Amino acid sequence: MRVGVLGARGKVGTEICRAVEATDGLVLVAQIDVGDDLQTLVDTDTEVVVDFTHPDAVMDHLEFCVAHGIHAVVGTTGFDGPRLQRLREILGADPETGILVAPNFSIGALLMMRFAALAARHFESVEIVELHHPHKADAPSGTARRTAELVG
């Protein structure tokens, strides 16, 4: 599978590029970052992108991908209700293109969300407290938002 990485020079993007290059059956064909032309994805016949960029850019990236039939896995944060609704509208233009948006790719975070949902049934109320570096692109994080949804 031909893979492009958006946010390729970022901390997570760099690791994704390494992982793609180390995985049989995957070929890293595009490494895109701020200021790079998305047309490179089309020119390299990219089949799927992994997007770890910024909330201000991700919707334009997804619109481009859907318009060109490129599937996407998105780890970029900041997907709230209106943004997800906009994504549904974009996907309506090409229902054959798949987009996966995940608030967190960490096994530990996924287990924490599951355990929080299970434990919440046994308490009158719950509180979610998170701590991030001062440059975090969104607060609360997608992980915190999803955890809040799960604990209801």
* Catalytic hit among 61, 132, 133, 135: 132
Residues 19 and 79 in one domain: yes
What CATH number is given to the structural domain containing 38? Answer: 3.40.50.720
From CA 4, how far away is CA 27, in angstroms rounded? 9
Residues 16 and 84 in one domain: yes
Q: Is 136 assigned a catalytic role? A: yes
Confidence check: pLDDT of 142 > 80: no
**Contact, 57 vs 7, CB < 8 A?**
no
Note the pLDDT of residue 89: 93
48-73 per-position pLDDT tens digit: 999 999 988 999 999 999 999 999 99
Last residue of a domain, one of 86, 101, 116: 101
Residues 116 and 96 in one domain: no
Confidence check: pLDDT of 137 > 80: no
Residues 59 and 129 in one domain: no
- Please state whether the peptide bond connecting residue 95 to the residue before it is cis, i.e. omega within 30 degrees of 0: no
Residues 96 and 111 in one domain: no
Residues 70 and 131 in one domain: no
Domain encompassing residue 85: 2-101
**What does the DSSP assignment read for 56-119?**
HHHHHHHHHHHHTT-EEEE--S---HHHHHHHHHHHHT-TTS-EEE-S---HHHHHHHHHHHHH
Sheet with 27-32, strands from edge to edge, namely: 27-32, 2-6, 48-51, 71-74, 99-101
Last residue of a domain, one of 59, 77, 101: 101
Which is it for strands 2-6 and 27-32: parallel, antiparallel or unpaired?
parallel
From CA 63, how far away is CA 69, in angstroms rounded? 10
Residues 42 and 15 in one domain: yes
102-127 per-position pLDDT tens digit: 878 889 988 998 999 999 999 999 89
72-95 per-position pLDDT tens digit: 999 988 888 899 999 999 999 888
* Catalytic hit among 11, 54, 71, 136: 136
Q: If pLDDT is split at 50, 70 and 90, which confidence band does 139 have?
A: confident
Q: Is the dihedral of CA 130, 132, 134, 138 positive or negative?
A: negative
Last residue of a domain, one of 101, 119, 143: 101
Query: Taking the CA of residue 94 as centre, how many other CA atoms within 13 Å lie in the half-sphere pointing to its CB?
Result: 14
Total domains present in the chain? 2
Confidence check: pLDDT of 38 > 90: yes
pTM, 2 dp: 0.81
